[in-house]
Structure 1
Amino acid sequence: MQKRLIAGLVLAAMILLTISGFLTLRWAQSPVASGLPKPPSKIVVIPDGSTFQQVAAILKSEQLIRSRWAFLLLGKSRDVDRKIRPGEYELDGSMASQAILEKLRAGRVVLHPVTIPEGYNLVQIAEVLAGQQVTDAKEFSKLVRDRTFITTLGIEADSLEGYLFPETYSFPRQAKARDVIKAMVDGLHRVWSADLQEQAARMKLSLHQVLTLASVIEKETGSKDERELIAAVFHNRLRKKIPLQSDPTVIYGLQAFDGNIHKRDLSVMSPYNTYRVQGLPPGPIASPGAHSLRAALFPAQASYLYFVSRNDGTHQFSSTLAEHNQAVEKYQKQPFRKRARGSLVTHGA
């Protein structure tokens, strides 16, 4: 009788301990802020290479979990302790340990919008990415000129100049440079549609040649309404074997550029000096946007061979050299002489 009583007491104690342990564990894994208005979220950084114990310590220090040991136990029981992905996470105290664990396992990190403007070159793109802490600029700059890596993307080129499509992307902080680059190349493939490919084939132009011409169009004008006209000028010149004479290509090939193009720059020996070299430069000089890509393949039906800036963001187009010289006189030389006279009057006053 006594043995039965003792056995019953032991069993009851074990049941109570089990229930107590279960309830304690359940409490320990419950949201820190349960029953309260939803607290503000916070950004928590899980460094690359962190152990699961370190992850639990970070979460505890941020007051996002009630118990380190309960979180560790939960992770091990679900075989997640070795599958946590590093990065920035948006978490709050209303999340249960299981929800936090699942988010860390799935790698649902915070994504940041990053805009690559149309007409940016590789150096400028690297600066944008570094400035927003998206990826390592040195690794990025190395990979975009690595022929072996470029080949893995299905591209035959010396660099990825022109192949990184300019648009707004969503990247995590400190993303791998190769992942960032691949996303931008994928962006180009998305806009390189069937109708563009068919038109390029009809014109006997490769993607590299289209990107090259489109990049020059992009750098020549900021006006979307003019791009087909600029394209017409360049197509007409290519057909007549007249040098493109594009200042942006010259600038791209210079070792140093002080912000103003000089007459001496036009005589520099460079494959990008389209005043001296006939045809397209060897490759793109920037990342063209979708409008410039389409303009390169669908130019305006016009006989223009020349254009000159009107100094208001637009250009004056001409079909003959005589017309062009008149436009240069009107929009460039006369305003320059007026400014020079105004400067002399100011200094003499």
Structure 2
Amino acid sequence: MSLFKPWWRLALLLTIAGLLVAATLAAPYVTFVSSAVTPPQEQLVIVAPGSSFATVSKQLRAAGVVTDTRYFGWLARWKEAAGRIRSGDYMFRSAATPGEILDRLVKGDVYQYPLTIPEGLTLEEIAARIEAKQLGNAERFLAAAHNPELLKALGIEDGSAEGYLFPETYLIPKGYGEKRLVRRMVAEFRKRLPADFAEAAKKYNMTLHELVTLASIIQKEVARIDEMPLVSAVFHNRLRIGMRLQSCPTVIYGLDEFDGNLTRKHLETYTSYNTYRFGGLPPGPISNPGTNALAAAANPAEVKYLYFVARGDGSHAYSTNLRDHNAAVRRYQLKR
């Protein structure tokens, strides 16, 4: 006698057949989900605000990041991720499974663009560079760098963030925000400020802002790191005896326009930054100095130099008196 009635046999066969069909259909999906895909080359996928999941899936498929938009949609529905994708620029370089890609899109793990700020740039030059890299608007950045409330919150006593935007390579996503970028650059300045800087300001009877101003002048005057303490000593010595700094970069900073040719007329121009006309330091920094210039301002060389002149090879000749300085000028500048 049979253990199963005919209809039970049929039901069992149909169930087995159904499972086999399901397994056959599921196999490609399982393979899709578990397989990491390596793009043919570095791929940047820009997810615009408001993009539908279908649109994003097609972008990823076109970039070679996913192999099947239908399976990718199934996975997104299962993970409840379809409506949680964040806009932004996504860079795909290495192998990743569809699940890993979805996780990146949901977390907003967007590409960080490198923004390199060299030492000695002015605030306006930094703003222009940010806009050129399409990482912000120059006018909005300048406005943020002059925002009284923001400056107060950042502990900057001047009316500008000039001098406090630390030169570094920053990794910035699109849409980072100009105020946020100012905060980040000032935070980096605080982090990288030499440990003895505040104490040095007291030692030389300066405010921290004044010592930053001096560092910014040193940064513009000399490129060689080994000479920065010497230039610092020249300016410290001049300040101590009440001698004008007579720094050309300060004059240039105060000009509305400058074509690269500094003339006597420029040296006679009336601006608060003209250290040929006025004694002491200018009212604020003239550039954004790096660590070496900041350290040099805080630690001038122990020399009695009062003058220096460019030799024409990137180095400078230093003198303790005007006679020797004039001789150096004739030798290196006038070639006599």
Q: Shorter-normalised TM-score: what interval? A: 0.7 to 0.9
Sequence identity, in percent?
38
Deviations 1:180-212 (A, max 9, x none): 333322321221143333333433433322221
Equivalent of residue 33 in structure 2, options 16, 29, 32: 29
Q: Residues 294, 212 of structure 1: CA spacing in aligned structure 2 closer, same or farther, 3 A cutoff? A: same
Match of 1:322 in 2: 323
* Separation in 1, partners of 2:115, 2:238: 37
2: CA distance between counterparts of 1:8 and 1:150? 77
Mapping for residues 224-263 of structure 1, pairs under 5 Å: 224-263=225-264
Counterpart contact for 2:39–2:65, Cα < 8 Å: no
Residue by residue over 1:111-130, the C-alpha shift from the partner in whole angstroms, topping out at 9 and shown as x without a partner, is 34332211111222223333
Report the counterpart of residue 346 of structure 1 in structure 2: none
Which residues of structure 1 form unaligned runs of 5+? 339-349
Give the whole-Å Cα distance in 2 for the aligned partners of 1:103 and 1:243: 58
Partner Cα separation in structure 2 for residue 66 and residue 43 of structure 1: 16
Counterpart for residue 99 of structure 1: 100
Q: For each residue in 1:294-340, what CA deviation from the matched residue of structure 2 results, as whole angstroms up to 9, or x when unmatched?
A: 110100112222222223322222222333333333333x33xx7xx
Deviation at 1:11, TM superposition (A): 5.0
Question: 1:121-140 maps to which residues of 2 (within 5 A)?
Answer: 121-140=122-141
Structure 1's 150 and 78: CA in aligned 2 closer, same or farther, altered over 3 A?
farther
**Greater Cα shift, 146-155 or 249-258:** 146-155
Match of 1:287 in 2: 288
SS at match of 2:196: helix
The residue matched to 1:161 in structure 2 has which SS? Answer: coil
In the other structure, the counterpart of 1:296 is 297
Kindly provide the CA deviation profile for residues 54-93 of structure 1, in whole angstroms up to 9, marking residues without a partner as x: 3223113334323334323323432433443333333369
TM-score by length of 1: 0.82
Match in the other structure for 1:185? 186
Deviations 1:30-52 (A, max 9, x none): 5485xxx9844422222344333
Secondary structure class of the residue paired with 1:194: coil
Measure the CA separation in 2 of the matches of 1:326 and 1:235.
23
CA distance in 1, matches of 2:61, 2:222: 55
Q: What secondary structure is seen at the aligned counterpart in 1 of 2:215?
A: helix
Inter-CA distance 145–7: structure 2 relative to 1 (3 Å threshold): same
1:273 Cα offset (Å): 0.8
Question: Shift in Å at residue 257 of structure 1?
Answer: 0.8
- Distance change in 2, residues 1:251/1:26 (3 Å): same
Residue 192 of structure 1 aligns with an amino acid whose one-letter code is L
Matched with 1:53 is 54
- Partners of 1:102 and 1:329 lie apart in 2 by 68
TM-score, scaled relative to structure 2: 0.85
Equivalent residue number for residue 78 of structure 2: 77
**Structure 1: distance between partners of 2:95 and 2:244:** 66
Q: Say if 1:52 and 1:156 are closer, same or farther in 2 by CA, change over 3 A.
A: farther
Matching residue of 1:113: 114
Code of the aligned partner of 2:183: K
- The equivalent residue for 2:213 is 212
3-state secondary structure, aligned to 1:45: strand
Partner-residue secondary structure (3-state), 2:309: strand
**Residues 110-150 of structure 1: per-residue CA shift (max 9 Å, x gap):** 33433221111122222333333333333323322222333
Give me the whole-angstrom Cα distance separating, in 1, the residues matched to 2:34 and 2:40: 15
Using a 3 Å threshold, how does the CA distance of structure 1 residues 92 and 213 change in structure 2: closer, same or farther?
closer
Cα pair distance change 1:103/1:274, threshold 3 Å: same
For 1:94 and 1:227, how far apart are their aligned partners in 2?
48
Q: Deviations over 1:205-227 (max 9, x none)?
A: 33322221001011111122221
Cα deviation, 1:150-201, whole Å, max 9, x if unaligned, reads 3343433312111111122333455433343333223212211433333334
Instruction: Write the distance in 1 (CA, Å) between the matches of 2:94 and 2:325.
Output: 69
The answer to whether residue 171 in structure 2 is matched with residue 170 in structure 1 is: yes
> Is the 8 Å Cα contact of residues 272 and 282 (structure 1) preserved in structure 2?
yes
1:259 Cα deviation after fit? 1.0
The alpha carbon displacement at 1:12 in A equals 5.0
